[in-house]
Structure 1
Amino acid sequence: TIFSGGVVVVPSKFNALDFWSTVEAHHVTWYTAVPTIHQALLHRAQRKAGSRAISVARKNLRFIRSCSAPFSPDALIDMEETFGVPVLEAYGMTEAAHQVASTPMTGKRVPGSVGIGTGVSIAIMDKYGNFELPGVTGEVVIKGGNVTLGYEDNPEANESCFTNGWFRTGDQGVMDSGGYLRLVGRLKEIIIRSGENISPREIDETLLAHPAVTEAVAFAVPNSTHGEEPSAAVVVSVPIKASELVAFCREHLASYKCPKIIHIVDEIPRTATGKIQRRMVSASLA
């Protein structure tokens, strides 16, 4: 933004009541936020047909960016239809200063994908350092001028995080033949139940497909028989029983992937940057 001659507007804090006044006052052309904020703005805008929020968005915005957590494809489409601009999902990390991939402004759209590489090369690698073919899940690796060359005074991390010049992100993902990346989850957060690997993100996406669910996060809980069992926490927009959500999961997931317990909560714990840490959620519900 600064390189192109733009201005960055940083509100002191998020407030859905005056958000659109800020957009209008500063002639904001796009904004970036986590899904929680998008959902709050969307729900408020939809309370009244033709609300001021919608008119301000359509007059000023070129696009909306979403990052740091999975965004329900249905909610994404709802936002695009309500505000009249494309919603671009993005993937970034500090080591890539900052963006790795993004949905392109024009061209192919792939629901559930974080798009294609933006200034970096992206590949999928197995644990032995071999590249995977399109459609095969593995670790996301990146290479480019904006990717860190290493960690200062941490030779062990440098050895484990780089393979033949590629930075190993620690994220599990899969790419299609067109280079579109879909994240599966953090390698360290994979749930292992009786030797079966379960992607918590797959459970997240299943729960987010339910119309009552606005946020979802799955995580592992210890189990004496299976080692670990999947569990989940959700935020809902209308009253619903946890048992109904468990039944919904059973309709859309293999039985061993289904969470046995789903916690309905007011909010999901996040880091200061808005990211969800599954271990943090698990600890808060233990």
Structure 2
Amino acid sequence: MEPPTLTALLKKASAAFPSRRAVAVPGKIQLTHAALDALVDAAAAQLAADAGVLPGRVVALSFPNTIELVIMFLAVIRARAVAAPLNPAYTQEEFEFYLSDSEARLLITNAEGNAAAQAAAAKLGLVHAAASLQDAAGPLHLAGLPTDSHKENGNGSRDSALFNNDPSDLALFLHTSGTTSRPKGVPLTQGNLAASVQNISSVYRLAETDATVIVLPLFHVHGLLCGLLSSLASGASVSLPAAGRFSASTFWADMLASGATWYTTVPTIHQIILDRHASKPEPQYPALRFIRSCSASLAPVILEKLEAAFGAAVLEAYAMTEASHLMTSNPLPQDGLRKPGSVGRPVGQEMAILDEEGGRVAPGKPGEVCIRGANVTKGYKNNPEANEAAFRFGWFHTGDIGVVDEEGYLHLVGRIKELINRGGEKISPIEVDAVLLDHPAVKQAVSFGVPDEKYGEEINCAVIPRDGSPLGEEEVLAHCRRNLAAFKVPKKVFITDELPKTATGKIQRRIVAQHFVQPAKA
């Protein structure tokens, strides 16, 4: 059977559930699957006719989480072009890098615009258009598109019926988060996206009766693939926060209003949700099928608190941009054993733990986590060095160190580049993080390696205390001494009120040292 495309999966869901809600902003606007499909078709035709967008051309999208972004993303890929979602909070210099690296030909924003993005686009000679949807009946308006004389194909005439998406069509261009190195461009095809969406829908049993609130930004693969696209391809619905971004104060009201049955986010936001619950509990919480955590390690103590607070199983998963998001996950309670502290078993792909020579490592022994499957990118864009390192022995090398137990569950030890080598002892910062977060007065924490003349590297950590806590360095160290081997105890603790993070809330461990250690030495 020919592999599907993401477009085909969305079309199938629209035909099966035309009148069910697809996407909404509570209290403002909602679209059924049929209405969304019609708006996407019309917008795709407009991109081809009025902007001359050709197959394979890259269209950059910089929006908050809005319905316009959902429509434009789907329209771009339906027109066989490539969508490159960008963080609207980037600086002009960052926009210049990402627009240049993706080789974008057109920038689209919301009607309010984005001064930094537009300045970068103007400097690079890109056209800027603004998208707006006034009501569910449509149409979506695109202001600022070029005149006929500027169209790439001369006349721009391409009928939407000719948008025959192929699994090999490049559809999405994202960059790695850059938590351990310079961001790398990751091209993903319609086939990659379809495979991932099917994997996600299968393991979580997503159906037309499900609903979720999008917590994470849609310029990130976690929110885009797992939150949005997997829901839409299952006939389910998503709600977008009215402010275009996550807000702890409105999260549960939005969840109740949308009839949400699950949500997915990163550990940092789980912690924010827990803190809100502790200080201002809601009068009512929705009955959730499950809560999902991904994109960073979830401390077991946080998992336990989430389950106790909201009465739903917490499923930790493991994902990467290069794999179109999902690689492994703990199963739903009815489908098998959940193992807190593990990231579950492979979902829809092969996984192996390999040594440096490409040999398989026995269960219980650490090695590099490697995968292969229909969801995995074929390679980074214009980066032969990275491709040579990542694609060896017939596998994609994740750069993560892990151990698989006898039941096939993966336990992550750390990133190859993040492991702390203290006098020959390899220390996982994830293990130290978990101990730090187990202290009742610690709100957030991260451990990291710093150069040391005696040991090569030493362990430091940065800690955000809970509000009102007089937590000090000695108390943190005493807690670590009680719960860690002596060589794993941090040498220094930085008490702070802020940690460097990515746009999705993932702590940027690679720059924590320069953020704290260098200023301290200055």
Please indicate, yes or no, whether the TM-score normalized by the shorter chain is above 0.5. yes
Specify the alignment match of 2:360 in structure 1.
131
Are 1:229 and 2:458 matched, yes or no? Answer: yes
Shift of 1:267: 2.7
Shift of 1:73: 1.0
Q: 1:32 aligns with which of 264, 285, 300?
A: 264
- Which amino acid is 1:217 matched to? V
Specify the alignment match of 1:164 in structure 2.
393
Kindly tell me: are residues 187 and 19 of structure 1, through their superposed partners in 2, closer, same or farther at Cα, counting changes over 3 Å? same
Shift of 1:123: 1.6
Number of equivalences: 281
Specify the alignment match of 1:67 in structure 2.
294
Shift of 1:157: 2.2
Specify the alignment match of 1:89 in structure 2.
316
Distance 2:263 2:278 in 1: 19
Which of the two has higher C-alpha Rg? Answer: 2
Shift of 1:188: 0.6
Are 1:199 and 2:428 matched, yes or no? Answer: yes
Shift of 1:202: 1.4
CA distances 1:52-100 after superposition (whole Å, capped 9, x unpaired): 2xx2233xx2211111222221221121111111111111111100111
**Equivalent residues of 2:261, 2:290 under 8 A apart:** yes
CA distances 1:150-171 after superposition (whole Å, capped 9, x unpaired): 2233333222112222110001
CA distances 1:7-53 after superposition (whole Å, capped 9, x unpaired): 2333312211111111122222211111221122222223367x32x
Specify the alignment match of 1:285 in structure 2.
516
Are 1:266 and 2:493 matched, yes or no? Answer: no
Kindly tell me: are residues 18 and 48 of structure 1, through their superposed partners in 2, closer, same or farther at Cα, counting changes over 3 Å? closer
- Which amino acid is 2:252 matched to? W
- Which amino acid is 2:318 matched to? Y
**Equivalent residues of 2:260, 2:286 under 8 A apart:** no
Distance 1:46 1:62 in 2: 22
- Which amino acid is 1:105 matched to? L
Specify the alignment match of 1:155 in structure 2.
384
CA distances 1:160-202 after superposition (whole Å, capped 9, x unpaired): 1122221100011111111111111110111112222211111
Q: 1:173 aligns with which of 396, 402, 407?
A: 402
Q: 2:372 aligns with which of 143, 155, 170?
A: 143
Q: Which moved more, 1:156-165 or 1:126-135?
A: 156-165
What are structure 1's unaligned runs of at least 5 residues? none
Q: Give the SS at the match of 2:380.
A: coil
**Equivalent residues of 2:437, 2:444 under 8 A apart:** yes
Q: Percent identity?
A: 52
Q: Give the SS at the match of 1:189.
A: coil
CA distances 1:113-149 after superposition (whole Å, capped 9, x unpaired): 1111111222211111111111111111111110112
What are structure 2's unaligned runs of at least 5 residues? 1-230, 518-522
Distance 2:382 2:267 in 1: 36
Q: Give the SS at the match of 1:56.
A: coil
Q: How does 1:110-129 map to 2 (within 5 A)?
A: 110-129=339-358
Q: Give the SS at the match of 1:92.
A: strand
Are 1:19 and 2:256 matched, yes or no? Answer: no
Distance 1:91 1:3 in 2: 21
Distance 2:280 2:501 in 1: 30
Distance 1:152 1:41 in 2: 37
Shift of 1:224: 1.8
**Equivalent residues of 2:332, 2:338 under 8 A apart:** no
- Which amino acid is 2:488 matched to? K
Distance 1:31 1:5 in 2: 16
Distance 1:74 1:152 in 2: 39
**Equivalent residues of 1:138, 1:173 under 8 A apart:** yes
- Which amino acid is 1:63 matched to? F
Are 1:77 and 2:308 matched, yes or no? Answer: no
**Equivalent residues of 1:68, 1:274 under 8 A apart:** no
**Equivalent residues of 1:92, 1:98 under 8 A apart:** yes
Q: Give the SS at the match of 1:129.
A: coil
Q: Give the SS at the match of 2:459.
A: strand
Runs of at least 4 residues of structure 1 off by over 4 A?
A: none
Distance 2:389 2:511 in 1: 25
- Which amino acid is 1:65 matched to? R
Structure that is richer in helix per residue: 2
Specify the alignment match of 1:215 in structure 2.
444
Q: Give the SS at the match of 2:233.
A: coil
Distance 2:442 2:449 in 1: 20
Are 1:8 and 2:245 matched, yes or no? Answer: no
